[in-house]
């Protein structure tokens, strides 16, 4: 498998103290990989370290086979790494079309192709993004990230603040995008079972330690996780 994202012994944290410990993680082209764990487990920290925003305290990160150096998130973006943060980072005063244009690069999917993934946006192209519903804003954040034609896509808490039915509709689109655009997706998600339902594999963090990894089917059935009451701490 050719990895689009790989961490080896990655430790990261804040003010010099690690909250993520020695993580080995891999995402292949066209794969959807869930990164799961309760609040404070270190999921967002992992994504920040992969994107180069947060310098690793130990270990290394590779994106598209190249080492990531800290403080150079723009270099990773150029290489083909897209990051949809928790707050979605949209320009609320700009329209749907303008937000997407900001993400577009040559070689990426066309505007029409993006609208096909998110038909709800197609009727709103001239609307300011601040006026969209939460679900539509999330679609726009995904569409803008895809507009750059990424090879790797990290999505942090896509479903935050969204009704479960919206999440159920959006996750299969993520799966379809991974397949059709050959993008490796690293998905941080509180809806564990829904996320595993569209994932190939997953990793489970707790207090910065990797406590389980495996295929989505293995994790869905993991007695170890169920007995620890672990999955019960999360929305299903
Ligand atoms: N900017 C920060 N400064 C100090 N500690 C932080 C900061 N951001 C997160 N943390 C701590 O790091 C740990 C992991 O946080 P985070 O990666 O955001 O977890 P998750 O995304 O899994 O909820 C938590 O204990 C959190 O309190
Ligand atoms: Mg987080």
CA distance 74 to 77: 5
Question: Domain range holding 172?
Answer: 3-80+151-233
Which residue has its alpha carbon closest to ligand 1 atom 12? 19
Mutate to test the pocket of ligand 1, among 7, 10, 16, 19 (most ligand atoms within 8 A of CB): 19
* One domain for residues 65 and 8: yes
CA distance 189 to 195: 6
Residue 18 sits in a domain whose CATH number is 3.40.50.300
pLDDT tens, position by position, 123-182: 999 999 999 999 999 999 999 999 999 999 999 998 888 888 899 999 999 999 999 999
- Give the rounded percent of residues in the chain with a pLDDT score beyond 90: 78
Say yes or no: CB of residue 206 within 6 Å of ligand 1: no
Say yes or no: CB of residue 37 within 6 Å of ligand 1: yes
Rounded to a whole number of angstroms, the distance between the first and last alpha carbons of the chain is 30
Report angle CA 216, 52, 47 to the nearest 5 degrees. Answer: 25
* One domain for residues 70 and 173: yes
Is the C-alpha dihedral spanning 128, 131, 133, 135 positive or negative? positive
Strand order through the sheet with 152-156: 81-84, 152-156, 184-188, 32-36, 201-206, 209-215
* One domain for residues 215 and 170: yes
* One domain for residues 129 and 193: no
pTM for this entry: 0.94
**What is the residue-averaged pLDDT of the chain?**
91
* One domain for residues 64 and 175: yes
pLDDT tens, position by position, 74-129: 888 888 999 999 888 899 999 999 999 999 988 899 999 999 999 999 999 999 99
* One domain for residues 131 and 229: no
Instruction: Using DSSP bridges, classify how beta strands 66-67 and 3-14 pair: parallel, antiparallel or unpaired.
Output: unpaired
The answer to whether 205 and 36 are in contact (CB under 8 A) is: yes
């Amino acid at each position: 498998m050719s990895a689009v994202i790989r961490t080896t012994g990655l430790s990261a944290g804040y003010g010099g103290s690690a909250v993520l410990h020695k993580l080995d993680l891999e995402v292949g082209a066209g794969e959807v990989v869930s990164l799961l764990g309760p609040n404070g487990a270190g999921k967002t920290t992992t994504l920040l370290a992969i994107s180069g925003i947060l310098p690793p305290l130990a270990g290394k990160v590779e994106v598209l086979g190249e080492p990531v150096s800290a403080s150079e998130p723009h270099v990773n973006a150029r290489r083909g790494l897209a990051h949809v943060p928790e707050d979605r980072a949209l320009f609320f005063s700009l329209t749907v079309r303008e937000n997407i244009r900001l993400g577009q690069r040559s070689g990426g999917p066309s505007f029409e192709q993006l609208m096909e993934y998110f038909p709800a946006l197609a009727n709103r192209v001239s609307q300011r993004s601040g006026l969209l519903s939460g679900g539509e804003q999330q679609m726009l954040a995904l569409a803008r990230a895809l507009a750059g034609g990424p090879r790797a896509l990290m999505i942090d808490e896509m479903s935050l603040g969204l009704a479960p039915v919206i999440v159920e509709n959006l996750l299969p689109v993520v799966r379809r995008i991974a397949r059709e655009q050959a993008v490796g997706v690293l998905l941080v998600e509180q809806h564990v079972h829904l996320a595993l339902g569209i994932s190939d594999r997953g990793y489970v963090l707790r207090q910065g330690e990797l406590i389980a990894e495996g295929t989505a089917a293995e994790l869905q059935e993991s007695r170890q996780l169920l007995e620890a009451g672990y999955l019960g701490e999360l929305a299903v």
